[in-house]
Amino acid sequence: MIELQPVAIVRSPRTDRRDDDWGAVESTIELDERFAPQALDGIEAFSHLEIVFLLHAINESEVETTARHPRNNPEWPKVGIFAQRGARRPNRIGVSRCELVRREGRTLVVRGLDANDGSPVLDIKPYMREFGPRGDVRQPPWADEVMSRYY
């Protein structure tokens, strides 16, 4: 058993489970009061953040443990849950990169975070380009279609 305590919470205008159009969404990440505001010192020097959060709106009964068509679209191949970025993941953990707009004390204003309002934040990391992929990135055509309207 692994127990995690959220470090922050997402406040977002998005409360639905719609998959697309996250690019212009501006949200806040409110650091838990057990952390001093200084826990965020220096974060303003970064343009982007990586946010690890709990997909709290997904019930455990909805979790996928096998293969399915991404977004239930039969035109796309059936692939395993670990070969897609679907929200119905076994541990319901989301990972997202977003733009840091500004910091206000223990609150971060971000753009493009694909987390719904109330999502518990498990970790906040500054994005560093060296953690991005090295070499060419490949993905199947169906993934290009899925992501074409995501941000």
Instruction: Convert the pLDDT of each residue in 60-95 to its tens digit.
Output: 899 999 999 988 899 999 999 999 988 899 999 999
Segment 97-113 mean pLDDT:
97
Under DSSP, is residue 44 helix (H, G, I), strand (E, B) or coil?
A: helix
Residue 7 has pLDDT above 80, yes or no: yes
- State pLDDT tens for residues 38-64: 999 999 999 999 999 999 999 989 999
Name the CATH topology of 8-147. Answer: Elongation Factor Tu (Ef-tu); domain 3 (2.40.30)
Amino acid at 101: V
User: Which one, of 108, 89, 93, lies nearest residue 42 by Cα?
Assistant: 108
Please give the model's pTM, rounded to 2 decimal places.
0.91
Residue 8 contacts residue 30 (beta carbons within 8 Å)? yes
Mean pLDDT of 10-16: 87
pLDDT mean over 16-33:
85
Mean pLDDT of 121-127: 98
What is the reported pLDDT for 75? 93
E strand residue ranges, the chain:
8-11, 26-31, 48-54, 67-68, 79-80, 93-104, 107-111, 120-126
